[in-house]
């Protein structure tokens, strides 16, 4: 990612020959290639702002590591260190998946958020980059269902493609249908969820309550 001058504070603790190895670690941490920071032609003198950001971030992590060592009382012993991968997790801009999708929902709508979710799932699932556990979409869908149940259903059905046995996703789909006053469909999803988790008392209670009080659309 970043090739810094040997005089940079980031490499004060290692010899110049370690520069290339350090750069490789950084590119892997951000999931980028060298030209992410080396954006100008060599010798052109054109500004490369990401290098300045990288220098500042390296200085920051060095300071944090010093504080960690002091706080842990391990000034003369190995301590857990903060590095680029700690925050970036293989992506250039370290944002949580929920934050990314929330911004897309707000700016471009549910259809764009679904496309983005599937694209990120395709490229990053199984890596440390984003949390593709069921709670990310569930946390987005619950408040969304109250104001726009159809948009919530788009996200939930996208998740269901990857997690067809997620009882919680099925239950949240049922909740979204109750916001559409479609209790009959909600009941079918709760029944599916209960088939997957027959001992789930919460889902069983929701199903019993909904069956005892059906509304018409």
Which pair of structure tokens corresponds to residue 82?
């903060």
Q: What is the pLDDT of residue 3?
A: 35
Residue 1: per-residue pLDDT: 40
| pTM exceeds 0.85 | no
List every span in the chain annotated with CATH 1.25.40.10: 97-212
**Residue 104's pLDDT is what?**
97
| Cα of 132 vs its chain's centroid, Å | 7
DSSP string, 50-115: HHHHHHHHHHHHHHHHHHHHHHHT-TTS------HHHHHTTSSS---HHHHHHHHHHHH-HHHHHH
Residue 38: the pLDDT is: 85
Structure tokens at 111: 């259809």
Kindly state the tokens that stand for 197. 């988790």
Rounded CA-CA distance 29/158 in Å is: 28
pLDDT in tens, the chain (217 residues): 433 333 334 344 455 557 777 777 888 888 888 888 888 888 888 888 888 888 888 889 889 888 888 888 776 667 778 888 888 888 888 899 999 999 999 999 999 999 999 999 999 998 888 999 999 999 999 999 999 999 999 999 999 999 999 999 999 999 999 999 999 999 999 999 999 999 999 999 999 999 998 665 5
Q: Which CATH number fits domain 97-212: 1.10.3720.10, 3.40.50.2300, 3.40.190.10, 1.25.40.10?
A: 1.25.40.10
Q: Residue 20: its pLDDT value, please?
A: 73
């Amino acid at each position: 990612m970043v090739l810094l001058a040997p005089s940079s504070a980031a490499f004060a603790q290692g010899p110049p020959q370690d520069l290339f190895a350090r750069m490789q670690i950084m590119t892997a941490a951000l999931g980028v290639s060298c030209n992410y920071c080396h954006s100008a032609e060599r010798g052109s003198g054109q500004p490369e702002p990401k290098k300045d950001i990288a220098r500042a971030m390296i200085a920051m992590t060095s300071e944090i590591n010093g504080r960690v060592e002091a706080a842990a009382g391990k000034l003369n012993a190995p301590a857990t260190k903060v590095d680029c991968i700690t925050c970036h997790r293989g992506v250039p801009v370290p944002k949580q998946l929920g934050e990314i999708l929330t911004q897309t929902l707000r700016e471009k709508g549910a259809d764009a958020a679904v496309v983005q979710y599937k694209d990120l799932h395709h490229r990053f699932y199984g890596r440390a980059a984003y949390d593709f556990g069921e709670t990310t979409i569930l946390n987005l869908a619950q408040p969304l269902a109250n104001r726009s149940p159809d948009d919530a259903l788009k996200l939930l059905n996208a998740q269901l493609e990857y997690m067809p046995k997620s009882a919680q996703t099925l239950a949240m789909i049922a909740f979204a249908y109750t916001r559409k006053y479609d209790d009959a469909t909600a009941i079918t999803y709760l029944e599916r969820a209960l088939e997957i988790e027959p001992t789930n008392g919460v889902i069983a209670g929701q199903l019993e309550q909904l069956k005892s009080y059906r509304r018409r659309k």
